Structure 1
Amino acid sequence: MLVVVSDTHAREESKLQGRTAAAVREAELVIHAGDFYHEPVLDAFRSAAASLRAVYGNNDDAAIRDRVPEVRTVEYAGVRFAVTHRHRSGDTGLVMLGRGRDADAVICGHSHRPRFDDSGGLPILNPGSHAQPRGNRPAHAELTPVGDERGSALDGKLVTPDGKVFEEFRIEGGGAE
């Protein structure tokens, strides 16, 4: 399972609770889409996750920026993701970033609003914030590999820390040319 989190905004700990904490511990891979805030939070995620791929966000301190990139490409179960915290050109810029990295989907953070949108030519996944939702639902994303006649795919869901699934989606792999 792949777990995606973002926008922790903490000083010393991961602020992982409930299903979010369990999912991070169980995951083969965890992607954090930026805004840990301070370096001990990055270290807490590295301790909790079997494997962590992260990018820095606009509120991350210099120590985090020295350790993780602003943008990265991550592949999981045959699905390729462009990962960034935000793009100044909004969804259009995110789609362009994803296409430039031959990605099947884009993962971003910043807004604290969990959402999956596949209406713009390339799917965009924002897991929201598990720790500081700012008026939105606290959330993370869980993605599980599935196989079908078309090749690789991930079944995804947006989940609250108390375990409620409030959106389900699928991301197809191998679509980038």
Structure 2
Amino acid sequence: MIAIFSDTHRSRGHGLEGEALTAAREADVVIHAGDFTSATALEAFQDECEVLYAVHGNADSAAVRDRLPTARVVEAGGVRFAVTHRRDGGEMGRVMFGRSRDADVVVSGHSHRPTVVETEDCLLVNPGSHADPRGNRPGFAVLEEAVDGEHTTGETRLAGELRQPDGTLVESFEVTGTATADQTE
């Protein structure tokens, strides 16, 4: 399982609860699109995850920015994820960011609004904020190998869900990837 989070916005602790906490603990890979806010929150998140790939956001302290990149690429579950907190240019800016990294999925945060947008080039996923939704639904995302798994062309299909921390389903989606090995940049 791959779990995706963003916008923790904590001075202490990780703000994870319910199904969000379970997903962070049980995921093979956790991706976080930034704005932990404090090094204490980042460390609390790291303590819950077996493998965490994160970027820093605009609200992160200097201590967090020193430890995390602005953007990164993660290959997990046969899918290539390009991760950033925010990208100028709105949806098209995120598409261009993904295209330049040959990504199947662009993971971003910043808006605190859980959304999935399918484009011609890649899938745009914003998990929202599990801890500080700012008037939006609280959210996070999970992806697991689809029931039919591998396609004959070597592509892998993952079934994804945007969920609220209590496990309530917000939206289902699918992504097809062609990555061959789990790695990061």
Shared fold per TM-score greater than 0.5: yes
Amino acid at match of 1:172: T
Unaligned runs of 5+ in 1: none
Instruction: For residue 10 of structure 1, report the CA deviation from its aligned partner.
Output: 0.4
**Aligned: 1:38 with 2:38:** yes
CA contact (8 A) 2:99 2:121 kept: no
Partners of 1:56 and 1:75 lie apart in 2 by 19
**Residues 113-168 of structure 1: CA distance to partner in whole angstroms, max 9, x if unpaired?**
00110035321000000000011110100000231324212110011111111210
Aligned position for 1:154: 158
Aligned residues: 175
CA contact (8 A) 2:79 2:177 kept: yes
Instruction: For residue 34 of structure 1, report the CA deviation from its aligned partner.
Output: 0.4
Amino acid at match of 1:148: E
1:1-177 → structure 2 map (5 Å cutoff): 1-119=1-119, 121-146=121-146, 147-149=149-151, 150=153, 151-174=155-178
Structure 1 vs Structure 2 CA RMSD:
1.1
The normalised TM-score by structure 1 is: 0.96
Amino acid at match of 1:109: G
Partners of 2:9 and 2:109 lie apart in 1 by 12
Unaligned runs of 5+ in 2: 180-185
Amino acid at match of 1:27: A
